[in-house]
Amino acid sequence: MSDLIIVQGTEIRKLLKNSEQYICLTDIANRFGSTELINDWLKNKNTLEFLGVWERLNNEIFDESAFRELMQAAGVNRFRISAKQWAKQVHGVGVFATPGRYGATYAHQDIAIEFCSWISPEFKLYLITELQRLKKLENSEITFERSVRRIMTKASYRVHTDAVKEFLIPPDLSKKTAGWIYANEADVLNVALFGMTAKQWRDNNPNKKGNIRDDEDIATVYHLVVLNNLESQNALLIEQGKSREERLSILNKQAIRQLNSLIEKASLNDLSDKPLLKK
């Protein structure tokens, strides 16, 4: 998925690949007159040395023997290499070319900054400043989302636990058994919304801390909005004397309907890659 950043009035495409940020060298080169600047930069022996070090540090499939052959050939006037040839010959991942009418050459942001050092130190500084600004913005958005997550997970918690305590837990029940009932009711909500219990999540994610509701790969803020509603709904159903099976069926239908409504009305595309709820 590509996006744009603007540096000194120039629109530069960027995209996320394998969770890493890549910057369009073609857009940068066009600002300074010609895309041939990319090939001029790539044929430079110092550039190849830099790319080799980067690949060695970041690329497990980097072909060292092919790289050594390239280094032996580099330095003469007739030597040429393109981004496509680099990726193919040494299995490089730091620089690559996209095909098609709107194809372009992209480089990992570390490499793109090095390209800017070669083409214009001034432009390099402006690029770094913009990337830092975007990183700060991204961090502030993450902090805000996590604050919202904490608020949402607590919002209806007391209403739900009070209903469980009043209608499902006898006064003389032991704390251990009462704790089991609380956990069991929490799993009614987990299964209704996420399709799995807390134990099933832990078994599937032994290396993750927290619980299913903390897992940002599964529970978005919007899932937590729905969870908030389900806690209130479950409290009402408990008060009405509905069985666990009845409540689970009702809550699952509510969860599906509410999430679909959020997706449809708010175009919340970030939900599209989350596990689907089962009817």
pLDDT, tens digit only, all 279 positions of the chain: 458 899 999 999 999 888 899 999 999 999 999 999 999 999 999 999 999 999 999 999 999 999 999 999 888 888 899 999 999 999 999 999 998 888 899 999 999 999 999 999 999 999 999 998 888 877 766 666 666 666 655 555 555 666 666 666 666 667 777 667 777 888 888 888 888 988 899 899 988 888 887 787 787 777 877 888 888 888 888 888 888 899 889 999 988 888 888 766 554 344 444 444 443
Q: By residue range, what is the domain housing residue 55?
A: 2-132
Same domain, yes or no: 201 and 115? no
Same domain, yes or no: 177 and 64? no
Same domain, yes or no: 14 and 84? yes
Q: How far is CA 88 from CA 57, 85, 199, 247, in A?
A: 18, 5, 45, 57
Same domain, yes or no: 40 and 81? yes
Point out the domain boundary residue: 98, 132, 166.
Answer: 132
Whether 6 maps to a domain, the answer reads yes
Distance, CA of 85 to CA of 208 (rounded, Å): 40
User: Residue 13 is inside which H or E element, if any?
Assistant: strand 10-17
Domains identified in the chain, total number: 2
Whether 57 maps to a domain, the answer reads yes
Whether 243 maps to a domain, the answer reads yes
User: Residue 220 is inside which H or E element, if any?
Assistant: none
Number of helical (H) and strand (E) elements in the chain, helices listed first: 12, 5
Same domain, yes or no: 33 and 127? yes
Same domain, yes or no: 167 and 218? yes
Same domain, yes or no: 8 and 114? yes
Residue 13: predicted pLDDT: 93
Whether 148 maps to a domain, the answer reads no
Q: Which two tokens stand for residue 155?
A: 């919002």
Same domain, yes or no: 8 and 124? yes
Same domain, yes or no: 83 and 175? no
Same domain, yes or no: 54 and 175? no
Whether 147 maps to a domain, the answer reads no
Residue 261: predicted pLDDT: 80
The DSSP string of 112-179 is HHHHHHHH-HHHHHHHHHHHHHHHHHHHHHHHHHHHHHHHHHHHTHHHHHHHHHHHHS-TT--HHHHH
Same domain, yes or no: 121 and 185? no
Residue 2: predicted pLDDT: 52
Whether 141 maps to a domain, the answer reads no
At 134, which amino acid appears? L
Whether 56 maps to a domain, the answer reads yes
Point out the domain boundary residue: 97, 132, 167.
Answer: 132
Whether 41 maps to a domain, the answer reads yes
Same domain, yes or no: 7 and 124? yes
